[in-house]
Structure 1
């Protein structure tokens, strides 16, 4: 998927350092080494995808998604597991391009649902997802192990 200045493409191991920089915009201290390991694993996984939004000289955003077979109905649930836009590049359509690309991937797989989790403290992200057509449907309970 391309726009006049942005290209959304699959992420690859050579993108690890720039993806790590994007993730730091969310406050995650993810290293480029850890990202490279995940990218290598995801490349072999038919259920995972990492997409990046690229300009000529740099990456401006990243999204990852995972497809989960549904037990109670036909199809899959696609979960956006990460979405981050590089600091200083917010509100330029980059997040929209990435979410739309994940949605296209989900539709091509025959997924029946897509979901994303956003921290309670990220009100700007909540507004973004609502504007993209996502609604609050359920509560998620977690437990640290």
Structure 2
């Protein structure tokens, strides 16, 4: 799925050539990342998007959705949303979050969940419309009637 250019940053689906940049962002072994990207690409209930700033990947978001007993529609979950430290405060995280929300709505989801551990991410959740719920945060994707 192509997301286009925003503020000079290209938002797009991840491709195998992004494995090294994503491994660097996540501080994970590069030799394992290609297999992980392939597994997510093959999952019909997941998507992986990246933000590239004139070449290198500077942000990544992984999204997964599944049916739940407590809601009529599937729920989407962000498993990863990371922006390179030197690129933060440029709106890249918000752009990735907006693209993830759009993908979740297209998948038929009504809400977006995100479990975060660190204080900076908790502040980002609060600033972007998430509410604390259980062990994480949740945000509605559709207007309630």
Report the TM range for the smaller structure's normalisation.
Answer: 0.7 to 0.9
Where does residue 143 of structure 1 map in the other structure?
Answer: none
- Point out where structure 2 has 5 or more consecutive residues left out of the alignment: 137-145
Where does residue 105 of structure 1 map in the other structure?
Answer: 103
For the pair 1:19 / 2:22, whether they are aligned, the reply is: yes
Where does residue 113 of structure 2 map in the other structure?
Answer: 115
TM-score (norm 1): 0.86
Where does residue 60 of structure 1 map in the other structure?
Answer: 58
Aligned length: 133
Query: Does the 8 A contact of 1:21 with 1:86 survive in 2?
Result: no
Cα deviation, residue 49, structure 1: 0.8
- Point out where structure 1 has 5 or more consecutive residues left out of the alignment: 25-29, 141-145
Q: What pairs with 1:1-145 in structure 2 (closer than 5 Å)?
A: 1=3, 2-24=5-27, 30-119=28-117, 122-139=118-135
CA distance in 1, matches of 2:106, 2:71: 18
Q: CA RMSD in A?
A: 1.2
CA distance in 2, matches of 1:117, 1:139: 6
CA distance in 2, matches of 1:102, 1:139: 20
CA distance in 2, matches of 1:131, 1:73: 25
SS at match of 1:88: helix
CA distance in 2, matches of 1:9, 1:91: 20
Could you list the structure 1 runs, at least 4 aligned residues long, displaced by more than 3 angstroms after superposition: none
Q: Greater relative contact order (Cα 8 A, min sep 6): structure 1 or 2? A: 1
Query: Does the 8 A contact of 2:115 with 2:135 survive in 1?
Result: no
